[in-house]
């Protein structure tokens, strides 16, 4: 699910940047620091929509650097267990398939695919196929997230299409 969320980010600024162009520098630093990052608590931070408050800037005693606590509003994407999402298949192998849901990669194991759909090792590109449906690269699927694992820089999810109203969408 995509959310719009208020977040904070702390920027440490070296004294050599104190000067007339400091605000512009802080803004571009904020964009560069947070856009495209991922954390367990907030999910993927996709884009900063607006900066609410760039912060006052406290000079830290001892180092001379200034600390700015900026508040900004961003589009974030976080997957939840039990959520149903649409995705695009990007890789199929005999273990199952991977689907892209925005920045997130979801793995659907062959055990969580309807038993009618069989892996066809001879097809090119590789596919899961039943009599009337086929899952191959670039097929759009509707899947349900059954679990997520958070890494330092990425989230991985496990999905299922073995339920009513899930599977290939046209």
Partner 1 sequence: MSTRLRHRTHGEEEDASALKLGAEFNNAGCLLISEVKYLLENRDKDAPDTAVYNKTLEYVKTFAKFNTTDSASAVRETLRREPALTQFETAQIANLCPGTAEEAKSVVPSLVKIDDDKLQTLLDEIQTMRKFQS
As given in the structure block, the two tokens for residue 144 are 């349900």
Give the range of 11-19, 111-119, 125-133, 158-166 binding partner 1 by CB under 8 A.
158-166
Distance CA 26, CA 137 (A): 42
Q: Given candidates 16, 21, 24, 41, which one binds partner 1 under the rule CB under 8 A?
A: 41
Distance CA 119, CA 100 (A): 20
As given in the structure block, the two tokens for residue 19 are 């000067």
Q: Given candidates 131, 132, 151, 164, which one binds partner 1 under the rule CB under 8 A?
A: 164
What is the closest distance, in whole angstroms, from the C-beta atom of residue 23 to partner 1 in the complex? 15
Residues in a beta bridge with 10: 69
Distance CA 154, CA 104 (A): 8
Contact between 17 and partner 1 (CB under 8 A)? no
Contact between 103 and partner 1 (CB under 8 A)? yes
Q: Given candidates 1, 23, 60, 95, which one binds partner 1 under the rule CB under 8 A?
A: 1
Q: Which of 1, 53, 64 is nearest to 26 (CA)?
A: 53
Q: Given candidates 86, 94, 95, 123, which one binds partner 1 under the rule CB under 8 A?
A: 86
- For residues 107 to 146, the per-residue mask of contacts with partner 1, x marking binding by CB under 8 A and - elsewhere, is ---------------------------------x-x-xx-
Query: Left if phi > 0, otherwise alpha if psi is -120 to 50, otherwise beta: which for 102?
Result: left
Give the range of 8-16, 55-63, 75-83, 121-129 binding partner 1 by CB under 8 A.
75-83
Distance CA 99, CA 156 (A): 11
Q: Given candidates 91, 102, 110, 136, which one binds partner 1 under the rule CB under 8 A?
A: 102
Residues 6+ away with beta carbon under 8 Å from 148? 79, 80, 81, 155, 156, 157, 158
* Interface residue list for partner 1 (CB under 8 A): 1-5, 31-32, 35-38, 41-42, 44-47, 49, 75, 77-78, 80-84, 86, 88, 100-103, 140, 142, 144-145, 163-166
């Amino acid at each position: 699910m995509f959310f719009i969320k208020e977040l904070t980010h702390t920027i440490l600024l070296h004294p050599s940047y104190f000067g007339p162009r400091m605000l512009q520098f802080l803004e571009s630093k904020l964009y560069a620091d947070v856009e495209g990052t991922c954390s367990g608590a907030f999910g993927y931070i996709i884009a900063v929509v607006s900066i609410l408050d760039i912060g006052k800037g406290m000079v830290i005693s001892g180092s001379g650097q200034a600390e700015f606590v900026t508040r900004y509003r961003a589009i974030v994407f976080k997957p939840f267990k039990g959520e149903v999402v649409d995705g695009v298949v990007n890789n199929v192998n005999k273990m199952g398939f991977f689907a892209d849901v925005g920045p997130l990669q979801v793995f659907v194991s062959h055990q969580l695919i309807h038993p009618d759909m069989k892996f066809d090792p001879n097809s090119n590109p590789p596919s899961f196929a039943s009599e009337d449906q086929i899952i191959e690269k670039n097929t759009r699927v509707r899947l349900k997230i059954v679990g997520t694992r958070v890494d330092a820089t990425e989230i991985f999810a496990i999905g299922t299409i073995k339920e009513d109203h899930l599977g290939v969408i046209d």
